[in-house]
A and B are shown apart, each in its own frame.
Chain A
Amino acid sequence: MRIRGFVSLAIATIVISACAPVAGGEKPAGTDGAGPATKWTPSRTPDGQPDIQGIWTNYTNTPFEVFDEKDQPGLYAGDPDGTGRGTGPGFINDSFERKLSKGRSLVVDPPNGRVPIMPWAEEKRNYRLGHIQDDWVNFTPWERCITRGVPGGLFPTGYGSGYQILQGPGYVAIVYEMIHEARMIPVDGRRHVGSGIRLWNGDSRGHWEGNTLVVDITNYNDKGNIATNAASQRVRSIPQSEDLHAVERFTRVDENTINYEVVVDDPKVFTAPWKLAMSLNREPQYQLFEYACHEGNLAVPNTLSAGRAKDKAAARAGTQ
């Protein structure tokens, strides 16, 4: 993803020169969990929803999982020298001089901070990430410019980490900077779509429990990945099945912080449900840029082209 990284670096330079650096003011995330520490009460929208609107970012130095000696960060990142930890060091968000906290892991359950991935799913990931030169389906849907997924689209990554939440009658909308997705979440009590409809991002249905937006997501297809970016370490490129069921909880605990939690349950892929917790930090001066990903996707064709060139070279060597 060097090309996209470069473009975004250029954009970041524009942003930095255009507006003063914004301190993230992030609360300790991850192992601290999402305990509501304050009595702060959000204002309400005209139709009575707690108001969680605004521009939010999710930069953090907390790693996705607790590191294990057996992990192969180079493989997951597609970068042999990478550490695969957090989104901070080496990524452009450092330039913003945000004060990022560093907790133990974004995965808070199971208590060991490790996602309970079934062996077949790890093998599938290893095969896919080792064969991206063969076929575009071996890339994650992020590199294919389809989606970072739900909930994966909210997992921290190195850049393009802006989210705008808008609310109108009966809806909460989340505009994702990355892959320019506008996720429309109805909060009017309607049922999920029929089980015959399978979706990359699943079917989201929200409701309010006090000040917490609870979103239930079902109807996934089995083509997506639960996480797509190097910052998600070992979980990157792990497949999702049609049995995936995710429940997200958004709680605005003060003016500048939404506590975000998601419980991921996919009995075909994980041996137990697992939970991730982090904060979304209000950053009103952050500018979301158009992420016209597919329109400029050279990563996929160039990688495949390199694979075919290798095939040709190997065939030539074989005939000599």
Chain B
Amino acid sequence: MNWMKGASIAVVSAGLALGISQMMRQPAEGQVPNVKLSRTADGKPDLNGIWQAMGTAYWDLQDHHARSGPVLELGTIAAVPAGLSVVEGNEIPYQPWAAAKKKENYENWLSRDPEVKCYLPGIPRATYMPYPFQILQTHNNDILMAYEYASASRVIKMGKTEPPPVDTWMGQSTGRWDGDTLVVDTIGFNDQTWFDRAGNFHSEALHVTERFTRKSPDVLDYQVTIEDPKVFTHPWKIQMPLYRRQDQNAQLMEFKCVEFVEELMYGHLRKKTGDEKPFAAARMRWP
């Protein structure tokens, strides 16, 4: 039966790719299907569960055709799948200097993308990486979002909060309910995180406003407004569905990726014993 559930998600996803996607981009109002959605004991929409994005926004928020991956020997396995833009209107309104820097980031992706080094992903990137995340709603209080990638997490404080005392990778998130939509405001970022693997970036002036709306028992509509007056000429928006993981006993698994990058980051500093098994010299090609 798990296979059936998985297959039905795949069909839904294929349907989106084939054209329902335009429908999904409409505003949330008036789109809620005639299904009674469960609520928490305090009457809020029940967002509890393990969720995951299915598109390829983690590769590139904008329209992108398929292309070869960076390591020749990995062939198809590391190739980049094609995807339609999740950015409203497809264009990201960079200031001219920032557009040049984005291009430079893309061309130097492997040496610059913080994901390569297992660094904290920031918001909104954490939401649509190819790993699940879990929402835990407490009664009338904080909401926890725990991400499988790098054991990242954030506690969303509901109501009023003090200004963030320091800049951080994950920012400081404050939540409120706008009708049946969870609205999360996040500020207090540093300038180190990216939006995807295509070099899209921001400054420490980033202000992210996310809107989580249940569309059906197993689908969340995820809309994000991104403001950063130091990098963009005006605010811009992304939107995508998030799907509930249907696997029986679905749970966040451990993905402590620091261990996977120590050789990459510190290998040249290790004392040589003569027993080393050298990595095959992979041939790189990027972009």
**A interface with B by C-beta (< 8 Å):** 11, 14-15, 18, 45-47, 53, 133-136, 144-147, 164, 166-169, 171, 173, 175, 179-182, 184, 186, 190, 193, 197, 199-201, 223, 287-290, 292, 294-295, 300-301, 304-305, 307-308, 311
Contact = CB atoms under 8 A, between A and B. Distances in A.
Shortest Cβ-Cβ A-B pairs, 10 listed: A46-B41, A182-B153, A304-B269, A182-B146, A290-B168, A134-B271, A168-B136, A199-B254, A181-B151, A294-B258
Given A190-B249, A304-B266, A169 B166 contact: no
A287 B165 contact: yes
A200 to B, nearest CB: 6
A184 B266 contact: no
Contacts of B270: 134-136, 304
A169 B50 CA distance: 13
B138 interface: yes
27 contacts: A18-B162, A45-B138, A45-B139, A46-B40, A135-B270, A144-B259, A144-B262, A145-B258, A146-B256, A147-B256, A166-B155, A167-B139, A168-B144, A171-B136, A175-B155, A179-B151, A180-B170, A181-B151, A181-B153, A184-B134, A184-B146, A289-B165, A292-B120, A292-B168, A294-B118, A305-B269, A307-B269
Contacts of B31: none
Nearest to B46: A169
Given A144-B258, A180-B153, A166 B251 contact: no
Contacts of A199: 254
Interface string B263-276: 00110011100000
Contacts of A166: 136, 138, 141-142, 144, 155
A184 B136 contact: yes
B155 to A, nearest CB: 6
A294 to B, nearest CB: 5
Contacts of B152: 180
Contacts of B168: 289-290, 292
A290 B252 CA distance: 21
Nearest to A46: B41
Q: Which of B165, B262, B270 has the most CB of A within 10 A?
A: B262
Given A295-B120, A304-B266, 19 more contacts: A15-B165, A134-B271, A136-B262, A136-B270, A146-B256, A146-B259, A166-B136, A168-B138, A179-B151, A181-B153, A190-B249, A287-B165, A289-B165, A289-B166, A301-B266, A304-B270, A305-B269, A308-B269, A308-B271
B68 interface: no
